[in-house]
Structure 1
Amino acid sequence: MDTPDLQVRPDPADPRLTRRVTGLDHTGAEVETSVTMERPLTLYLNGQEIVTMMTILDRPEDLAVGYLLNQGMLRAEDRLTAVDYDDDLGVVVVRTEARTDFEEKLKKKTLTSGCAQGTAFGDLMEGFASVRLSTEVKLRTSDLYRLLHRINTIPSLYLEAGAIHGCALAAADQPLCYMEDVGRHNAVDKIAGWMFRAGVSGADKIFYTTGRLTSEMVIKTVRMGIPILLSRSGFTAWGVELAREANLTLIGRCKGKRFTVLAGEGRMVFDADPRYVEEESAKHWRKNSAEAE
């Protein structure tokens, strides 16, 4: 099958993203391996420091805008006047045409289950109940199997060094954008920021993540207006409950020909015979089983 032609893809050859480190293996023999780099990025909104997050720092502008959108500090109607990144200082500044209400957001915090920096400012559920996801979008299982195969064959930092999460935005069986980072919430925010800056709608899209299907993942996907969320990992009870409330199609445990749908089943079209679907390669199975959870 062809390698997907993504609009945004990882660059595992970027020397800033990994480092070679020597150590010992289980037999005591010396080994050399690649490890993922993480660096601090401090985010400012209109001159106000918001947060410092740990990230691989490959797409700081998208990460900054997506973080602010998913924390409710930016809204879809807000107009950006500048997004400036300084590599030497590790600082990104987002400027808007009109003043935002982020000061109020900073007064309230909700601790989420996201790995790494997992604090969501403000009311995590703000705007969630008012989102209406498209009910016309369908996901054919034949497209699902092709999509998973294409995502698994994308050259990635995950396969190069591990210790990282990946997220993809797709349409039918075609991945459009693939982002990686040390925390799954960072990878989600990068895609949200890219969608906002590129003017890409989520109404007919599919969101893929290597991470768990938690309440945070469901809320962010719904707020991006994406009707289908899938993962190779498992579910949390609140994630399932929120997905059913929002009519989000929630598909987990996607490994090879197997998957489980726990919400939004009406969008599924079972047109593929699993007997003729190839199992996932051992390389992806071992890595993902060991690290994705």
Structure 2
Amino acid sequence: MNERMSVNKSIVRFKDGNFNQINDHIVTEFPMTIYVNNEEFATMVCTPAHFDEMVIGFLASEGVIRFRNDIKALNIDEEKGFAYVELAEGKEINNQRDFSKRFIGSCCGKSRQFYFQNDVQTAKTSTAETKITADQCIRLMQQMQDNSHVFKGTGGVHNAAICTSGEMVVGRTDIGRHNALDKLYGHCLMNQISVRDKILVFSGRISSEVLTKAAKIGVGIVLSKSAPTDLAVQLAEDLNITAVGFIRGSSFNIYSHPRRVTN
């Protein structure tokens, strides 16, 4: 486990009727402030690892950039918690007030709701025809969980992974579920990994925000060990994304576009 991602602390544990003093691992919470073209853009509270991926993934998710080369320079001061981004020539940041405006619109006769106006421009309707078997759904979830040493040590993080139907391509961990997804997105952009045929595996609840993040990344299948919300399911239907939840043991539920999951 990365030594910066957790700290050791003496705690008191109650078990089997007794109090005992033990050492425990506690996950690290770290603020990172992003400046874009010398203007403060956002502060993210995160797990201190893979900062470059998180910043790039976050800016792509927010529609500030589309590709890695839209950034001319990225400098991260890990000690003080600042990331300085200089956009490539000709790239400008849109009015930042747009990032806090809720937008409700429609598409093809369906009611598609987004929390923020920039989501309309960055969330993609999936065209993926990737398929996955039921056994692969269960196996990928187990593989992601087995590979998260930080979660095993602290229990205080979200896990996420980009996978093919047969194996995990890359996994990331963070205290913030959105940060974990941004790190994956940033990794794929930095390494020019095509995601249209990939699968997103996630440890947390599938909220509308998580589903929208998945749409921005561009995957067609989202697997989770937890439940979805009703708005997330509506968005999954509209965005042609297969949402699978409650992957536990040998069972799961398919909430949208079940054609991609086979026996």
TM-score range, shorter chain: 0.7 to 0.9
* Larger strand proportion of the pair: 2
**How many residue pairs get matched?**
248
Match of 1:21 in 2: 9
Match of 1:37 in 2: 28
Task: Specify every segment of 5 or more residues in structure 2 that has no aligned partner in the other structure, as ranges.
Answer: 103-114
Match of 2:171 in 1: 178
Structure-2 change in CA distance of 1:237 and 1:139 (3 Å) = same
Match of 1:139 in 2: 132
Matched, 1:75 2:63: no
**Alignment match of 2:118 (pick from 117, 123, 130):** 123
Q: Residues 56-76 of structure 1: CA distance to partner in whole angstroms, max 9, x if unpaired?
A: 111111111111111122224
SS class of match (1:28): strand
Match of 2:112 in 1: none
**Alignment match of 1:90 (pick from 67, 78, 81):** 81
> Alpha carbon RMSD of aligned pairs, Å?
1.9
- Give the % identical residues: 23
TM-score (norm 1): 0.79
Preserved CA contact (<8 Å) 2:214 2:222: yes
Whole-Å separation in 2 of the counterparts to 1:148 and 1:108: 33
1:66 partner letter:
G
Whole-Å separation in 1 of the counterparts to 2:234 and 2:160: 22
Match of 1:49 in 2: 40
2:260 partner letter:
R
Whole-Å separation in 1 of the counterparts to 2:48 and 2:11: 26
Of 258-267 and 92-101, more deviation after overlay is shown by 92-101
Matched, 1:150 2:138: no
Preserved CA contact (<8 Å) 2:34 2:84: yes
Structure-2 change in CA distance of 1:107 and 1:149 (3 Å) = closer
Where does 1:1-293 land on structure 2 (aligned, <5 Å)? 12=1, 14-26=2-14, 27-76=18-67, 79-109=70-100, 122-128=117-123, 131-270=124-263
Q: Residue 107 of structure 1: CA displacement?
A: 4.4
Of 147-156 and 195-204, more deviation after overlay is shown by 147-156
1:23 partner letter:
I
Task: Specify every segment of 5 or more residues in structure 1 that has no aligned partner in the other structure, as ranges.
Answer: 1-11, 112-119, 271-293
Structure-2 change in CA distance of 1:87 and 1:198 (3 Å) = same
TM-score (norm 2): 0.88
SS class of match (2:234): helix
SS class of match (1:172): coil
Structure-2 change in CA distance of 1:223 and 1:33 (3 Å) = same
Q: Residue 238 of structure 1: CA displacement?
A: 0.3
